[in-house]
Structure 1
Amino acid sequence: MKPALFTSTGLQKHFGGVRAVDGVNLAIEHGQVVGLIGPNGAGKTSCFNLITGLYTPDAGQFTFNGKPYKPSSPNEVARMGIARTFQNIRLFNSMTALENVCVGMHCRTGQGVLGAVFRTPAQRREEQRIREQAMALLNYVGIAQYADYLATQLSYGDQRRLEIARALASNPQVLALDEPAAGMNATEKLKLRELLQRIREDGKSILLIEHDVKLVMGICDQVTVLDYGKVIAQGTPAHVQQSPAVIEAYLGGLHHG
């Protein structure tokens, strides 16, 4: 049996006396969309930051492609095959959309400082390849027409799509998205859902933190629900929606509606 693409076991993170993440077990299979949800302060982002190397866990273990790993830095995690976006948009505002995506490929480049300084033929060929791949990614997420626009000139929804294109530029196996639908209108959310479905169909796995319950339940294969740092429910969207603990802690009257 093929091992899970990613697992965390007994994951913990404490901030003083607060247990932000308290024994979280999580698994992501190949080609699967996994949702991580819970009320505000439940520990979702802390868990996310542990997985992507921004935080160092106090306890717990990770595996990736069946092998143990310790996420010592975001750069190392990206090279390994996990790319992320952030809840608050973090684009390079003085760069164009195309340049922002090119930056996302830095962990997959082969030329060094000397090549960049002396503009060697190999360096020029690699730069051309990077630009072509970046343009293809902009087309993939549906914003190729804005390639030469500054990031700040894009609409809010298109900036979110640009962030996803930049994350995809590192060719990850797991795309980790922190509230990608935050601030989007209904039309933008529909386009986002279609994009996420396409990414999954193309063979990538997705870890999704999202407050839009309708989006999560409509696209995720598995959902993990956190409350006060602990897992209170885990399973298919249908299973999670029937959990009394989830209804009480997170879904509440929305579930009954």
Structure 2
Amino acid sequence: MAKAGSIYVMSVLLDVTNVSKFFGGVHALDNVGLRVPSGSIVGLIGPNGAGKTTFFNLITGLYSANSGLFQFNGQFYSPHSVAQVTQAGIARTFQNIRLFGAMTALENVMVGCHCRSHTGVIGAILRGQQVRQEERAIREKSFALLRYVGLGDFADHTAINLSYGHQRRLEIARALATDPLLLALDEPAAGMNATEKLALRELLLQIRVDGKTILLIEHDVSLVMGICDSLTVLDYGKTIAVGSPAEVRNSPAVIKAYLGNSP
């Protein structure tokens, strides 16, 4: 945080300005902007087809923007590849779960850890003392992350045999294994029952307390209204509202496009 007089002002971790994306003649995103302060939980919401996942794909290197500026952690960057984005400090989960189904929960998290490892091809072949030490550290870190997300008892279970809610948590653990500054979650509560959603809420709040910043796409209105510091609302690829949950809840444009009579 930056200090202005006696008032602390949150610095902006992600600042996206005037981003557009066209697919042929379709404007999936039209001059969309979004700011994510460090240490906050920011929600990106809107009806199906509003452009939310396209926006995530742009900031995480799966798509290239037709126009716009991207700043992350005080630097301009061009998210042209997933590897580049991961190294910059952004990790994401997907609307459709993308785990390695035949691997154990522990192995899935270890995959995330390896993006920060220092072992090269030669080191992996020779398996010297330094490589073995790093592998032990990765294994211990992966166990710790599984315990952190509530999956400590499932380390040896294959991912495909975990419940849907546990698979969602495993994706979060694997994303955290990359040591991100920003955690981008695409509908993490999808498919969860009420009990699982409550546990997810507590996990996300704890992740924020522990110093991570979260950008969240989620259709569960109660969840986003309950944990987000601010919301950006899209409709047909355009921004129709930005503000606190209370401000967004009372926006006539948002009510008409998305919330309706939702509580």
| Residue number in structure 1 paired with 2:25 | 17
The AA in structure 1 aligned to 2:14 is F
Q: CA deviation at 1:253?
A: 2.1
Q: CA RMSD in A?
A: 0.8
Q: Contact (CA 8 Å) 2:221, 2:262: kept in 1 or not?
A: no
2: distance between equivalents of 1:71 and 1:124? Answer: 33
Q: CA deviation at 1:62?
A: 0.5
Q: Cα deviation per residue 1:127-155 (whole Å; 9 max; x = unaligned)?
A: 00000000000000011100011001211
Are residues 1:143 and 2:120 paired?
Answer: no
Mapping of 1:92-111 within 5 angstroms?
92-111=100-119
| Residue number in structure 1 paired with 2:46 | 38
2: distance between equivalents of 1:181 and 1:49? Answer: 19
The AA in structure 1 aligned to 2:257 is A
2: distance between equivalents of 1:42 and 1:54? Answer: 18
Aligned length: 255
Q: Contact (CA 8 Å) 1:5, 1:29: kept in 2 or not?
A: yes
Q: Contact (CA 8 Å) 1:3, 1:66: kept in 2 or not?
A: no
Identity over aligned pairs, percent: 64
Question: Structure 2-normalised TM-score?
Answer: 0.95
Mapping of 1:50-199 within 5 angstroms?
50-199=58-207
4+ long deviations beyond 2 Å: none
The AA in structure 2 aligned to 1:220 is C
Q: Cα deviation per residue 1:109-141 (whole Å; 9 max; x = unaligned)?
A: 111001111111111111000000000000000
1: distance between equivalents of 2:168 and 2:187? Answer: 10
2: distance between equivalents of 1:72 and 1:16? Answer: 20
Q: Contact (CA 8 Å) 1:7, 1:27: kept in 2 or not?
A: yes
| Residue number in structure 1 paired with 2:6 | none
Q: Cα deviation per residue 1:9-66 (whole Å; 9 max; x = unaligned)?
A: 0011000111101111101111100000000100000011001110000000010111
Question: Structure 1-normalised TM-score?
Answer: 0.98
Partner secondary structure for residue 253 of structure 1: coil
Specify which of 211, 214, 222 is matched with residue 206 of structure 1. Answer: 214
